[in-house]
Structure 1
């Protein structure tokens, strides 16, 4: 009987990992499909970012909320609800007739994803103990690293062989498999403390995240201080010369201060809080969350830029792009074996540092190979090294963050850890997307000025290339009169992608430095 229960527990880990795969694959599969979405729906470069950010924004905003609710109402129950919401939103995304409808479906997907991710972590934290917990976290983390790279391959095949719509449709059978498997193998768990829900804290957490990501994405469109492009919603027009972007930054900052003050005040009165602030007294939890946020800034942002560059500049199709990024997936899967071999022999924090160092080398190497005439050969070893680093860092960092967290607080702790990662990922996509398109616009404008193009024509070309996220380059290259301009556009987009890659390497370097605080002996015991 005991062996049967042990087997059921590990079988449950398989389905929990598939649930993680569902949301991670969806997050990365879209990157390869974006060029086809651009051509089919005619979306702009800002909408391209929002196709990613609509998901990530809601995802990050509600992780704390659903992590706390899972502790109260049941972690398995909330995960299953999240899978249903995610699958239904995937149906809507696969049928979306416009960019706006697709972005709306992605928003709902984000709600489902934010129910799934923290509950998978808290279920593992509540189910496994001791050495088994370390192995379970390694499997969970390696799944994230591997699936982040398998997503582009799957998306490339589905987009090339069928349609970009199947990049979302694939979530439906996966959702059914997860529902059946989790019901059969995963036991319900919840916190014994049934405190009231902190509704004000939930609202303040959303008011912190949403305006921040909005400002980072829309800054280059609406202006970082004064209005460059006047925002409109239907018949309503923005009435101020001041851009909405600094106002959004201010709202986020005020909401963050209010969230902390409100939560600390409630905790001192013995009331429930959305975030267990006393968890930050645990050194491994506090420092690990800081490291996780900074690392995610570099890990996920570059995945937005590479597929666009590979398809619109180098000329790959979606399947070829996915096959090239498969080297990243192979690196992540190799990392799981390496991490297993090092378990018990090397402190987890050193595995994290080794992984981050490999990521830095991989991303910097990719940046050095980027150019309008680049070939696939030199990219493969650097992508492999990058994937190896992602697998090592992701698996072990999660274990370090949650190692000393009491099981009763695992939902809140998992939500906090996931929020740190998703905040980093959201900021990474927003910041690196801004670096990509701003650099492209600046370099291309300079090149066209050197050719003596009139200002009006120059601005039109720059807007055409940037707003299409690079899709317009092929059209420019087909006309003999604009072939030279197309060459300038390819060079500019390559410079933008290279700048984004070096920026990612810089964030990863900061992440490596931030792990110094994780090296204290009392935190590695």
Structure 2
């Protein structure tokens, strides 16, 4: 390498920079990828494992409905709010260092959650878990982006993406087994053992990587990004609870209650829009003054990054929204236990992991964009197929093939779309770009849950109400039954089925919830079609314009 090219690709102040890490690590680098995947698994599993443990938590700690909501959503809210901040910080302080700190914080807060004597302490522990998770996810992605080049890159992203897709399905299985066989506390306590392996493995096999330039921090930009992300995700998550416009449930803080007839959600959305605009204007101002910002406008000038993030947001809307509906339907309509539900959803995880091997093989023959499109087609077939077979008496064997196809598509599309988004990003901005990409996916996921949740519960409630009207049930009693079924996410169906007098109501409720789940599946498939169309903005997937630092790195890697 010439002195001139070395100065362009490897800053002299970064002897352990990402470019140096990208070559010559051999087997150690792949062991490091396993460690990184374990870290991803830790936070993804924890975001889904809690759902099946909620009934046991309510029984042991006496948590009310509001507390249950915050046990589930406090983690997601903090996690989404801090992804961009910690992604950018990782570029400054070191991506491996931030990964290790995040895993340690996550493990300690998991111990606190496992030992929590009250619901308030459990919620506080979940908030801290969200901070640790926000440190981990963009760090893992930026380490993969910085550490792999050429054909190895497709394999590395396939493993990373398949881990996310697969572990989203493994979480309910693991949670169901731990809760049923031991205690809900072990759903948190098991994290400490995994964290120990990750920390040791990170120091042994994951090279440090960071931006060699000493860029100053941007606390104002960080605060604005937190406000924008947190308010947007909060509004999407809580819209159905508090009402999208007219207030349906008044938030309380102590003795204070939300006034008026307008829901707080429109105001929170307004805060989010102002926060996003302020964050963008602040970044432009900092750039004009020649100062580093929390979000570099340079990234938006990269077509693959800009268009890829839009596509990733839409794809996430369809991908993970359906994960909300399926476990509810499997347990409360078909009557499967939490453990049985996890075993059925395991087909999704198997499909996702199977895709990682194929994605690596296809990486030599097809462009990442083509692989993304193949994956999205598989997702559409899988989700639409689920919509076709879902019914109040569907045998589980009919679900497994479509879950496998769906998971297979997730394993292809999620991984390679991430690679497309980051492929032209200069390594020095890997953390910031990873945080942005993770935030886009998180917002898409929250939007998908909000939309598909509304489709599921609104359609189920409307259909059940119509069925009860057909039976001549009085309006007051009808509304009470519909509220009981919808507000409990279908859990009240078992109570109606247990009494002969209300058994017909249970059958109506099962049919209505099945139809609502079908509508949610078809809606998810529709969003995935839109996501597929959005990938057209990424071109044919051939060689695109490269950033100078990354182009030089890839040339040096090819020579090596």
Rounded to whole Å, the distance in 1 between the matches of 2:302 and 2:484 is: 51
Range 514-523 or range 18-27, more displaced: 514-523
**What is residue 46 of structure 2 aligned with on the other side?**
26
Contact 2:373/2:535 (<8 A) preserved: yes
**What is residue 494 of structure 2 aligned with on the other side?**
474
- Residue 362 (structure 1) aligned with residue 420 (structure 2): no
**What is residue 137 of structure 1 aligned with on the other side?**
157
CA distances 1:292-325 after superposition (whole Å, capped 9, x unpaired): 1111111111112211111111011112111111
Rounded to whole Å, the distance in 2 between the matches of 1:126 and 1:424 is: 25
Consecutive unaligned residues of structure 1, counting only runs of 5 or more, are none
**What is residue 313 of structure 1 aligned with on the other side?**
333
Secondary structure at 1:193 match in 2? coil
Rounded to whole Å, the distance in 1 between the matches of 2:56 and 2:516 is: 21
**What is residue 161 of structure 1 aligned with on the other side?**
181
**What is residue 544 of structure 2 aligned with on the other side?**
523
**What is residue 291 of structure 1 aligned with on the other side?**
311
- Residue 458 (structure 1) aligned with residue 478 (structure 2): yes
What is the CA RMSD across the aligned residues, in angstroms? Answer: 2.3
Rounded to whole Å, the distance in 2 between the matches of 1:153 and 1:227 is: 36
**What is residue 342 of structure 2 aligned with on the other side?**
322
Contact 2:155/2:356 (<8 A) preserved: no
CA distances 1:72-127 after superposition (whole Å, capped 9, x unpaired): 11111111111112112222333445655544433222211110011111122222
Distance 1:34 1:389, change over 3 A: farther
Contact 2:49/2:187 (<8 A) preserved: yes
Instruction: Report the Cα offset of residue 4 of structure 1.
Output: 8.8
CA distances 1:128-176 after superposition (whole Å, capped 9, x unpaired): 3333333322221222222222223222322332233322222121111
Distance 1:294 1:357, change over 3 A: same
Rounded to whole Å, the distance in 2 between the matches of 1:104 and 1:440 is: 34
Distance 1:281 1:119, change over 3 A: same
- Residue 235 (structure 1) aligned with residue 255 (structure 2): yes
Range 244-253 or range 208-217, more displaced: 208-217
Range 186-195 or range 379-388, more displaced: 186-195
**What is residue 232 of structure 2 aligned with on the other side?**
212
Rounded to whole Å, the distance in 2 between the matches of 1:450 and 1:42 is: 38
**What is residue 280 of structure 2 aligned with on the other side?**
260
Rounded to whole Å, the distance in 1 between the matches of 2:27 and 2:475 is: 69
- Residue 275 (structure 1) aligned with residue 295 (structure 2): yes
Instruction: Report the Cα offset of residue 401 of structure 1.
Output: 1.1
Instruction: Report the Cα offset of residue 38 of structure 1.
Output: 6.0
**What is residue 384 of structure 1 aligned with on the other side?**
404
Rounded to whole Å, the distance in 1 between the matches of 2:65 and 2:443 is: 21
Distance 1:468 1:91, change over 3 A: farther
**What is residue 91 of structure 1 aligned with on the other side?**
111
Contact 2:237/2:446 (<8 A) preserved: no
Instruction: Report the Cα offset of residue 246 of structure 1.
Output: 1.0
Secondary structure at 1:117 match in 2? helix
Pairing of 1:28-43 with structure 2 (within 5 A): 28-34=48-54, 36-37=56-57
Instruction: Report the Cα offset of residue 371 of structure 1.
Output: 1.5
Pairing of 1:310-459 with structure 2 (within 5 A): 310-459=330-479
Rounded to whole Å, the distance in 1 between the matches of 2:147 and 2:80 is: 25
Rounded to whole Å, the distance in 2 between the matches of 1:95 and 1:311 is: 28
Distance 1:336 1:522, change over 3 A: closer
Distance 1:40 1:315, change over 3 A: farther
Rounded to whole Å, the distance in 1 between the matches of 2:290 and 2:427 is: 20
Distance 1:498 1:165, change over 3 A: farther
Rounded to whole Å, the distance in 1 between the matches of 2:61 and 2:488 is: 11
Secondary structure at 2:527 match in 1? helix
**What is residue 72 of structure 1 aligned with on the other side?**
92
Rounded to whole Å, the distance in 2 between the matches of 1:328 and 1:115 is: 27
Distance 1:445 1:233, change over 3 A: farther
Range 68-77 or range 83-92, more displaced: 83-92
Distance 1:214 1:46, change over 3 A: farther
Pairing of 1:77-226 with structure 2 (within 5 A): 77-96=97-116, 101-226=121-246
TM-score by length of 1: 0.94
Instruction: Report the Cα offset of residue 269 of structure 1.
Output: 1.4
Instruction: Report the Cα offset of residue 49 of structure 1.
Output: 5.8
Rounded to whole Å, the distance in 2 between the matches of 1:365 and 1:37 is: 35
Rounded to whole Å, the distance in 2 between the matches of 1:108 and 1:434 is: 29
TM-score by length of 2: 0.88
Instruction: Report the Cα offset of residue 241 of structure 1.
Output: 2.5
Rounded to whole Å, the distance in 1 between the matches of 2:446 and 2:303 is: 25
Consecutive unaligned residues of structure 2, counting only runs of 5 or more, are 1-20, 547-560
Distance 1:483 1:42, change over 3 A: farther
Contact 1:45/1:469 (<8 A) preserved: no
Distance 1:435 1:224, change over 3 A: same
